[in-house]
Structure 1
Amino acid sequence: MYTRLSTLGLVAAAAICAAPTATAQTPLTTELVADGFTGPVWAGSPPGDDRIFVVEKRGTIQIIDGSGSVLPTPFLDINSLVGGFATGNDERGLYTMAFHPNFATNGKFFVYFYNNNDQTVARQYTLTSANVADASSGLTFYRVTQPFPNHNGGDLKFGPDGMLYLGTGDGGSANDPGCRAQNRLETLGKMLRFDVNNVVPTSGGNGNAAIPPTNPGVGDPTTDDLIWHTGLRNPWRWSFDRLTGEMYIADVGQNAREEVDVVPSNVGNLNFGWRVEEGTRNNGNGSCPPGTPAFGSSVYTRPVWEYTHSFGASISGGYVYRGCAIPDLQGEYFVADFLAGSSDIWSFSYTGTAVPFNNATQQRAAELDPPGSLGLGQISSFGEDGAGELLIVDYSGGEIFRIVPDGVAPAACPPLVSRFSRLSVSSGGTQYLELHAGASNAGSVYFMAGTTSGTFPGTPAGSLTLPINVDAYTLFLLQNPGALPLLNSIGVLDADGRAEARVRIAPGALDVSFVGTTLHHAYIVLDGIGTVTLASNAAECVLEP
């Protein structure tokens, strides 16, 4: 097979981006995906997977299959390990899950919860079968004792560098009485960063995760090695923009402000100011030790968006829309307020400067109100399904909804869709290239090419044009199909006409002269006699420090 694919790759060589933003606004609504859940707090899918995993606060994870049915057996049940969930106001429980980037092959996933010993815990699990996890496989690689039962953070996610990030709360009570968020030797009130690609078992269900050498605290005796960012109060829900890799942190406020902070891809060591600053408001130094920077210090990073408690009092962060079905929604960040319920759902587009709440924020509550007798209650979370379409998690109603176009047919994905378009030369990372060639091309061979010299005018590919200008990088990939940095550059499309390739930059593999280089990749599809039947759009990948 490889010989045949290589030959067809040479045929391709011889033959030899994002979706545009529309001006009209597609009307939106929501559709019910499934209901009957008990205290759902998170929902999401591995990329390309038609299942939706639903995390229930009581300590269970359920699966909605591709037909919309909830499977009878929970994917994971660790209720006996999870503390809290006695009342609706109890902040303890199971909070979230994250899929390893290679979940489809290694079956590893990660959860974060409050245990029965007043500790918050991050654990790795593996599978018994495709739809059932092995509850006995848990390895705890992070735990911290909580001084109070509230403000526990609640989200963990993989970044474009393949590292696992965990947002922790400040330890609770009110106004951070221990000033823990500003204490760089404590992991509370922080964004933490782990290398969990090889969690090494120790004893008693514990394991050791590696510390990324590029974490700011490595080699600094004044900072814990796990810390990536400081100065957070309670980052209950945060996310990565799946295209740009930017980190959007929704931090729950104290008595006056709710905020969203945005961090450029691959940037660490920021301080978001809590407990001294609540959004852009002076909250005072309180119990913080002498020397803690005062309000207005240049040490602190200010939010890009905030609202006062006249609109709500507990922000539920969401995601930047990067699905295919609603092209003119590209780049819009969705967010809600848990206590305000369905009355406050907003979206805004961040382009590098702070976004005013009133005149640059779109109120979405009315159009996202489900049709008929259905309704949204307390929104605990948003989510992304396997295609990047946005989900809404209704905690009080026990329902999962999907945002869809209203009265307009959903758009199809372009032939090439990328996740993470900016990679760090120093930290490394992976760009995921999703091929959507259509079912008519099922079983056909694809061949992907790359360039560092742009996409126009492109290269003839049979009767079509591939948006790749041939240069030294193009020739390297042709001579080394499937080798780093472009993995799976040649292969066979599945029954749906889909495949995945990856641009993989190993940490430190490139010298700093590559910083600022823009790679573009695109592919062609060949039929059985070598005729080019499709030439895709190009996907961009920018190399950053």
Structure 2
Amino acid sequence: MKHLYTGIIIFLSLLNLNAQTLPDLDFEIFKTGFNSPVSIANAGDDRLFIVEQGGIIKVIDNGNTSTFLNISSIVNDGQSEQGLLGLAFHPNYATNGYFYIHYNNNTSTGSTGKQTSISRFRVEEFNPNIADPSSELVLLTIDQPYWNHNGGCIDFGPDGYLYIGMGDGGSSGDPQNYSQNTQSMLGKMLRIDVDNGNPYSIPSDNPFVGSINTLEEIWAIGLRNPWRFSFDKQTGDMWIGDVGQNAWEEINFQDANSSGGENYGWRCYEGFAPFNSSGCNNSYVDPVQVYENNGWPNDCSVTGGYVYRGTQFPNFVGHYVFTDYCTGKFFTIYDNLGGAGWTTTTQEDTQYGVSTFGEGNDGELYFADINTGIIYHIIDNSPVASNILEISKTEFYPNPTKAGNMVQINNNINFSEITITSLNGQVLYKCITTENAFQIPANLSDGIYFIQVNGLNPNTLVIQND
């Protein structure tokens, strides 16, 4: 699979690389033996944590699996979309030991609904692989009228605030129009400050602070069932997989510079198509990707994923990967025009029941097959030019290096302009210098980049911050 490379470094004549190789995804078993895994998280180290829907969190540490937390007695997983659904570790987890979960408790709040709890727990003081089940602090409860569309994803943004994805309350077609009701937390993306207040506070820059018509916790509205959202660890952009009704599945994108307040359209729209126009207006944000829902056993339910920012697979870097739960078909999206255009790749159907994706601290991506309890590592089999390091006469050292470090330049020509780009050609840094050294920007995350002198053929630059 090839796509013409539209970035700055279009023409690499020495290698005849006038096309960018798109990823060719494959999957290798990482760990087996889980019961209905629905979320994967890391705590800022080499461990992976696997959330089981019934109320247990397992930890994989150096290849060994053990129980981190068992709260099955307070979790209700009586219906297929209920249970322990999400996990997020505090940005300062290494020092405070706090983590947060999204689950259905045993309180009935509707005809078939069980109340949502957003709670904080902490790790045991003397064992990093065991949490204290008695340490729960309930931050927020949200009544659920029906058993389905509970949302379930929870994550900290690059701003340090906790984001909470909530579904529209369930049934079919959002009969109470909760998603567009700004006095309801259902069908919303919420954003709260867990470091201040009792038990939380509202960030001062939330879009509806001071409003008498909209709950201040709301960051964005118009979601049906955001089954997995994530943040690009390099750019801070938010990606949301929102499950459709019966016609369209969609991916929503929020730029890192957004001030919030987006309305993603449900129930007025499903994808780009009108669904229920009652009480609607024209102030909606379109999805960046939709695909047709043809009903089981065809494509019928999106599972949102992550942007790959690891270092093992250069052609995969910068691609957002997601899948359809019903067919196991994988897709990737990447920004090929600096925010002005998207390119999508469709991988083959796999038949995996992908309930969730997860990201390791090193940027490697994983997914869970809920049917088999297997965790897979996503790999890329697309060819990488073995001699790409030789396409430039300029040498940079140390390479790999860390963001913020000084890099020495060794070449035999006069130079003045240094440019660093992503593999997709987006300019990330440019400077003018006559010195034989320059400082790598401090905001570069782990990954592979191109670096050029005077616009000549690029060399690869590897950033490894750990």
Normalising by structure 1, we get a TM-score of: 0.66
1:77 to 70, 73, 85: 70
Q: Identify if the C-alpha distance between structure 1 residues 410 and 59 changes in structure 2 by more than 3 Å, giving closer, same or farther.
A: farther
Query: Alpha carbons of 1:199 and 1:43: their partners in 2 closer, same or farther (altered >3 Å)?
Result: farther
Whether the 8 Å contact between 1:46 and 1:99 is mirrored in structure 2 is: yes
In structure 2, relative to structure 1, the CA distance for the partners of 1:25 and 1:172 (3 Å cut) is closer
Structure-2 residue corresponding to 1:324: 311
Amino acid at match of 1:248: W
On the 8 A contact 1:163/1:194 being kept in 2, the answer is: yes
Unaligned 5+ residue runs, structure 2?
1-8, 11-16, 108-113, 390-397, 408-428, 447-460
Q: Which residue in 2 is equivalent to 1:161?
A: 159
The one-letter code matched in structure 1 to 2:73 is: S
Paired residues of 2:400 and 2:463 also in contact (CA < 8 A): no
Q: Which residue of 2 aligns with 1:515?
A: none
Q: Alpha carbons of 1:277 and 1:158: their partners in 2 closer, same or farther (altered >3 Å)? A: same
Offset, 1:456: 3.8
Matched, 1:38 2:35: yes
Alignment partner of 2:100: what SS? strand
In 2: Cα distance, 1:403 partner to 1:410 partner: 20
Q: Deviations over 1:36-69 (max 9, x none)?
A: 100001112133x111100000010001112x22
- Following superposition, the deviation at residue 364 of structure 1 comes to 2.1
Structure 1 residues 139-169: Cα deviation after superposition (integer angstroms, max 9, x where no partner): 1111111011111111111111111101101
1:104 aligns with 2:104: no
Aligned AA (2:348):
A
Deviation at 1:454, TM superposition (A): 5.2
SS at match of 1:209: coil
Note if contact 2:105-2:116 (Cα within 8 Å) is conserved in structure 1.
yes
Aligned equivalent of 1:443: none
Structure 1 residue 390 corresponds to structure 2 residue 365:
yes
Local SS of the residue matching 1:387: coil
Query: Are 2:210 and 1:219 equivalent residues in the alignment?
Result: yes
Question: Which letter maps to 2:39?
Answer: W
State the distance in 2 between where 1:330 and 1:177 align.
Answer: 41
How much does 1:414 deviate?
6.4
1:122 pairs with 2:118: yes
Q: Does structure 2 conserve the Cα–Cα contact (< 8 Å) formed by 1:247 and 1:262?
A: yes
Please name the residue that 2:239 is paired with.
Answer: 248
Which one of the candidate residues 53, 61, 74 is aligned to 1:57? 53
Helix, strand or coil at the partner of 2:73? helix
Residues 231-269 of structure 1: per-residue CA shift (max 9 Å, x gap): 110001111111111111110000100000101114100
Q: What secondary structure is seen at the aligned counterpart in 2 of 1:328?
A: helix
Q: Of 257, 264, 267, which residue of structure 1 is paired with 2:255?
A: 264
Higher helix share: 1
Work out which of the residue numbers 350, 361, 368 in structure 1 matches 2:344: 361
What is aligned with 2:4? none
SS of aligned partner of 2:277:
coil
Distance 1:167 1:468, change over 3 A: closer
Q: Does structure 1 residue 238 correspond to structure 2 residue 223? A: no
Report the alpha carbon displacement of residue 104 of structure 1 after superposing the two structures with TM.
1.4
The answer to whether the aligner puts 1:144 opposite 2:120 as a matched pair is no
From the superposition, tell whether residues 409 and 307 of structure 1 become closer, same or farther in structure 2 (CA, over 3 Å): closer
Measure, in 2, the Cα distance between the counterparts of 1:468 and 1:336. Answer: 35
1:346 paired residue among 318, 326, 331:
331
Quote the residue 2:453 is aligned against.
Answer: none
Check whether the contact 2:22–2:382 (CA below 8 A) recurs between aligned residues.
no
CA-CA distance at 1:363 after TM superposition: 2.1
Letter in 1 for 2:208: G
The question of 1:173 aligning with 2:168 is answered: no
> What is the identity, as a one-letter code, of the residue corresponding to 1:45?
N
Counterpart CA distance in 2 for 1:316 and 1:273 is: 19
Q: How far off its partner does 1:182 sit?
A: 0.5
Match of 2:458 in 1: none
**SS across alignment from 1:160:** coil
Provide the residue aligned with 2:433 in structure 1: 457
Quote how far apart the aligned CAs of 1:537 are.
7.3
Paired letter, 1:364: Q
Q: Alpha carbons of 1:276 and 1:64: their partners in 2 closer, same or farther (altered >3 Å)?
A: same
Q: Distance in 1 between matches of 2:355 and 2:383?
A: 28
Distance 1:458 1:178 in 2: 65
Give the alignment partner of residue 92 of structure 1, picking from 82, 100, 108: 82
Paired amino acid for 1:62:
K
**Cα shift readout 1:208-245 (whole Å, capped 9, x = no counterpart):** 11110111121110110100001110001111111111
Alpha-carbon deviation of 1:466?
2.9
Alignment of 1:6-25 (within 5 A): 23-25=20-22
Q: Could you tell me how far apart the structure 2 residues matched to 1:384 and 1:124 are? A: 21
* Structure-2 change in CA distance of 1:142 and 1:459 (3 Å): farther
**Which residue is equivalent to 1:333?**
320
Return the offset for 1:309. 1.1
Please tell me the residue identity of whatever aligns with 1:247.
M
In 2: Cα distance, 1:198 partner to 1:229 partner: 22
Normalising by structure 2, what TM-score? 0.77
Q: Which AA in structure 2 matches 1:121?
A: S
1:265-299 C-alpha deviation (Å, 9 max, x unpaired): 1410000111010010110235xxxxx224xx1x0
Unaligned runs of 5+ in 1: 1-19, 201-207, 287-291, 370-375, 419-432, 438-452, 470-485, 488-499, 502-535, 540-545
Cα 1:458–1:179, aligned 2, differ >3 Å: closer, same or farther?
Answer: farther
